[in-house]
């Protein structure tokens, strides 16, 4: 009997993975990895380990979830150490719970190695604390899209009025509806909003505006997935606390100076 490790790879910056997550990559006989996993992390894999891409795009799946579940079970039952490498945290919109249920049904031992999720890390890299004593004492993760064929389940009235900061995953396509629902249930039109694209990576791009104009903001700046939508007064702190883009700019200047031999 082998074993499966459900590992959170973090939000994009390869240095944000945990020490235990790296160990699970190094010990794996086979690694099943997702689209948002930084592929620099695969360099930790031992020679001879099998690497299987399981990435998903909106409306497109390289492998169906049921197939991934079968692969995890099959390889573990064959005595292999399997690392399932997921962007962010495996239990935060990562379908890790579904995979764990499947492993339990087949009697396969497993461990869950948490990872840093984008809902906290992307705002931090954009200079936005999700909680702050002066602005926000409550915080919620929200999915921005529904499971295909299912009716609306989110309780927008509670999210709009009862939570200070909303981190909305996978919501770019549904931004007009998200805006409509939050405004309809009482969120102020002038509420600050940030759209953080490829958070924590060198390709990170952040644009800010208000809830009322967020759909137009996304259209004007051609914002696409993967983007985290952050709604709340804490977004206003970005003007003072933004640090990551400055670091990227400075490193670019240093590289140019070094290349020029100055």
Helix (H, G, I), strand (E, B) or coil at 128: coil
> Which listed residue (56, 74, 173, 181) is catalytic?
56
The per-residue DSSP string of 142-167 comes to EESSPPTT------HHHHHHH-SEEE
| Token code pair at residue 248 | 């990227």
Q: Is the dihedral of CA 50, 111, 122, 69 positive or negative?
A: positive
Based on the residue annotation, tell me whether 20 is a catalytic residue of this protein: no
Based on the residue annotation, tell me whether 147 is a catalytic residue of this protein: no
| Token code pair at residue 9 | 């790879």
Share in percent of the chain as helix, strand, coil (round to 5) = 35, 25, 40
> Which listed residue (3, 13, 29, 34) is catalytic?
34
At residue 177, φ and ψ (nearest 5 deg) are: -70, -40
> Which listed residue (170, 173, 181, 212) is catalytic?
170
Based on the residue annotation, tell me whether 170 is a catalytic residue of this protein: yes
If one counts every other C-beta atom within 10 angstroms of the C-beta of residue 44, the result is 19
Helix (H, G, I), strand (E, B) or coil at 190: coil
Q: Which residues are catalytic?
A: 34, 56, 170
């Amino acid at each position: 009997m082998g074993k499966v490790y459900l590992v959170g790879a973090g939000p994009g910056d390869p240095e944000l993975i945990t020490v235990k997550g790296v160990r699970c990559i190094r010990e794996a006989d086979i690694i099943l990895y997702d689209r948002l996993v930084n592929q620099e992390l695969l360099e930790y894999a031992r020679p001879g380990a099998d690497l299987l891409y399981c990435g998903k795009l909106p409306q497109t799946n390289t492998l169906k979830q049921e197939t991934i579940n079968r692969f995890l079970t099959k390889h573990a039952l064959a005595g292999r150490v399997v690392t399932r490498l997921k962007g962010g945290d495996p239990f935060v919109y990562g379908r890790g719970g579904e995979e764990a249920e499947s492993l339990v049904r087949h009697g396969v031992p497993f461990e869950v190695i948490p990872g840093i999720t984008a809902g906290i890390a992307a705002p931090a890299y954009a200079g936005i604390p999700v909680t702050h004593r002066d602005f926000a004492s409550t915080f919620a993760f929200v999915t921005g899209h529904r499971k295909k064929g299912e009716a609306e389940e989110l309780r927008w009235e509670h999210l709009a009025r009862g939570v200070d900061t909303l981190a909305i995953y996978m919501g770019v396509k549904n931004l007009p509806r998200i805006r409509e629902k939050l405004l309809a249930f009482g969120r102020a039109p002038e509420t600050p909003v940030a759209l953080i694209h490829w958070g924590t990576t060198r390709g990170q791009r952040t644009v800010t505006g208000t809830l009322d104009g967020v759909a137009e903001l996304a259209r004007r700046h051609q914002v696409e997935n993967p983007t985290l939508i952050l709604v709340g007064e804490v977004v206003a702190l970005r003007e003072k606390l933004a640090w990551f883009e400055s670091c990227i700019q400075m490193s670019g200047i240093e590289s140019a100076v070094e290349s020029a031999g100055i």
